[in-house]
Amino acid sequence: MAVNKPTGDNARKGAVKKRSQTKTTIGGATGYTKRDRTSGEFMAVKKPRTAKKAAKKFKGVRVEKKTTTRKTQRA
């Protein structure tokens, strides 16, 4: 987890470990879903306030990189 010293300053030092977030589409708008990296369980969803705007990211949680699949073309 994140290191929170010195106590009382209300600031997180470093990233939250064992958590990640991924960009999702919720009702046509962009949102973020936080998940546990060890079990893969989805934990929370940040929905946009309006359908036209995107939701803000979770603070201090790393963003998952999307894996791309390449299709090979035959000559």
- Assessment of whether the complete model's pTM goes beyond 0.85: no
Going by C-beta distance under 8 Å and a sequence separation of 6 or more, which residues neighbour residue 20? 34, 35, 37, 61, 62, 63, 64
Q: Where are the domains of the chain?
A: 19-50
Residue 30 has pLDDT above 80, yes or no: yes
Query: Stretch 51-66: mean pLDDT, rounded?
Result: 84
In the 8-state DSSP scheme, what is residue 3? B
Phi, psi of 66 (to 5 degrees): -80, 140
Contact 51, 28 (CB under 8 A): yes
Residue 75 has pLDDT above 60, yes or no: no
